[in-house]
């Protein structure tokens, strides 16, 4: 008795079952290019290069929180020598005025939505009181 047909048929079924997830992903035609964020029209540069900002903006914002709020150091010198105020509202939110800018990337990578917008509304309301 030859079981060759049963063995080859069984292997074909196993291979087909293993390949179903791959075929499903091919049919979706998902883009691996990312959310396609564009720089704001009025700004040509940021405090960090685009790749560095995408990779480490959370670290930069935490550093700004520590230096600006806790250490009372309120300027940041960018990679190009330009000096920016250490302020989410005066620096970042002056160009990125909508939460959708942040949410598109955060949703794309599966990160939780940033909580910046709970307190920072995109307009600088800096108090001029003496310390």
Kindly state whether residue 82 falls inside one of the protein's structural domains: yes
pLDDT digits (tens, 9 = 90+) for 7-17: 999 999 999 99
Residue 112 confidence (pLDDT) above 90? no
Domain of residue 109 covers 50-118
Bridge partner residues of 83 (DSSP): 77
Kindly state whether residue 125 falls inside one of the protein's structural domains: no
Q: Are 103 and 35 in contact (CB under 8 A)?
A: no
How much is the pLDDT for 17?
Answer: 92
Q: How far apart are the first and last CA of the chain?
A: 95
Domains in the chain, number = 1
pLDDT digits (tens, 9 = 90+) for 46-60: 888 888 888 888 898
Angstrom CA distances, 67 to 15, 63, 64, 78, 131, stand at 57, 6, 5, 15, 16
**Whole-model pTM?**
0.59
pLDDT digits (tens, 9 = 90+) for 79-91: 889 898 988 888 8
More confident residue, 19 or 36: 19
């Amino acid at each position: 008795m030859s079981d060759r047909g049963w063995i080859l048929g069984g292997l074909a079924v196993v291979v087909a079952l293993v390949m179903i997830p791959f075929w499903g992903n091919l049919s979706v035609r998902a883009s691996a290019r990312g959310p396609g964020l564009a720089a704001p029209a009025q700004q040509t540069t940021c405090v960090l290069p685009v790749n560095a900002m995408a990779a480490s903006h959370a670290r930069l914002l935490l550093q700004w929180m520590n230096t600006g709020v806790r250490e009372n150091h309120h300027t940041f010198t960018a990679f190009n020598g330009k000096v920016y105020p250490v302020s989410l509202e005066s620096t970042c939110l002056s160009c990125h005025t909508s939460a959708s800018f942040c949410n598109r990337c955060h949703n794309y990578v599966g990160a939780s939505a940033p909580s910046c917008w709970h307190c920072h509304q995109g307009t600088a309301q800096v108090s001029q009181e003496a310390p």
